[in-house]
Amino acid sequence: MDSELAALATSGATTLISLMVTDSWTHAREVVGRFLSRPQADGATLADLDSVRARLLAARAAPGTHTTDDLTNPWHTSLQEVLQSGSATADTLRDLLASLQQLAHAPQTRRLTVHNDISGGDQHGPVVQSGRITGLTVHVHPSVDAAQN
């Protein structure tokens, strides 16, 4: 394998391992899983990715159990095998790396709790607060009081 592809595989493995401990991992896991599951690739599965992530998180909690290289090297090998098998090109791996690096540098989003109060009159049906809604259908069943009148 030429040195450019080897460097690309190394960069991919390093980026993959670094993303495993971020909030972006869920999306990165899906992207990498699809890449490694290409036809004719003897790639890793999502379960393998999850296993390595668990070991990486355990290593962070108990330093000295694994080094980052221990966890990165198998992914370097997997990415090289995907490239050598011809099931992916250097360009597709570059695209994957670009999207992973974009995830790695994306600002982490925080989930916020929103509390809305409704006041000012009687509400006899659903109330929806939103900035934009398309294709909404609301079914309102008549109340018992309305049916008696």
Q: What local confidence, expressed as pLDDT, does residue 43 receive?
A: 53
Tens of each residue's pLDDT in the chain, 149 residues:
578 888 888 888 888 888 888 878 888 888 888 887 765 455 557 888 888 888 888 877 777 666 677 778 888 888 888 888 887 888 888 888 888 888 777 665 555 676 777 777 787 777 777 766 677 777 777 766 555 55
Contact 43, 80 (CB under 8 A): no
Q: What local confidence, expressed as pLDDT, does residue 143 receive?
A: 64
Q: Determine if the pTM surpasses 0.75.
A: no
